[in-house]
Amino acid sequence: MSGSRLLLGGRWGRGRLLRWAIGGLAAVAILVWSAQGVNLNLREFIRGLPWVADLISRMVPPNWEFLPRLGRPVLETIQIALWGTLLSMALALPLGLLAARNLSPNLTLYHLTRQALNLLRGINEFVFALIFVAAVGLGPFAGVLSLAIHGAGLLGKFYADAIEEIDAGPVEALRATGARPLQVFVFGVLPQVIPAWIASTLYRFEVNLRAATILGMIGAGGIGFELYGSMKLFQYRDTATCVLVILAMVMTADYVSSRLRTKILAG
């Protein structure tokens, strides 16, 4: 008895121990229930391993003949990410200003904008892509629109949060000189938020590029179309080439953008 008390420490009363036991049991129950829901099965996995190995064996060596055909889709993927990011930036700027509590002209507008941003952010870009494919047809434009709309929700929140974190002192000082609101914004707010804004926009571009590589699977343009097509045609060596190209593209973008971001945030 004294041993266990020593182990658990004095503050572990009986009531607390009971609460922890109940909580632990509930957690285990939820995990087991979820495992059944998703057919979590180690035996199935082990039984499937040879098939995975077989698939991989059919992917090597990658078909380098396929590489030239990927030039255009790769460019298209980058173009989708670029315009998706640019358009979401353009949408996020006004929304971000309204959603910053210390800048928003009135509280109702502030709450409305925050909710609108939550909504845009809450719906996955692929859901948007499905909607836009139906609306504007198959192709990269649907992908651009979906990245723009979902990204506007994310960037708008980033922009607004950055504005809410600024030092209010310079803003008060500028107001005290009789400067007009736009001047106060350009001289007092913008210099304080611009590094964070650029960094979050660059990060958004990275994410958009990754998203753009698979948008093609639902017909919204980019390299994902080739990836999906090659698998459907059982051309697994072509699939391997696609995967490697995507990897190279995403890693390059991550590297360049993270270097830029650290540079901007430091300077």
List residues near other proteins by CB under 8 A: 167, 169-170, 172-180, 182-183, 186-188, 191-192, 194-195
Q: Which of 107, 200, 187 is nearest to 152 (CA)?
A: 200
Helix 190-215 to helix 236-266 angle (10° resolution) is 180
Smallest gap from Cβ 193 to other proteins, in A, equals 10
Smallest gap from Cβ 208 to other proteins, in A, equals 27
First to last CA, the chain: 61
Smallest gap from Cβ 177 to other proteins, in A, equals 5
Closest to other proteins by CB, 69 vs 175, is: 175
Smallest gap from Cβ 106 to other proteins, in A, equals 16
Closest to other proteins by CB, 166 vs 214, is: 166
Closest to other proteins by CB, 23 vs 105, is: 105
Between the CA atoms of 186, 115, 129 and 87, what dihedral angle is there, to the nearest 10 degrees?
-10
Closest to other proteins by CB, 138 vs 179, is: 179
Distance CA 233, CA 152 (A): 36
Confirm if 206 and 259 have CB atoms less than 8 A apart: no
Tokens representing 213 are 């590589």
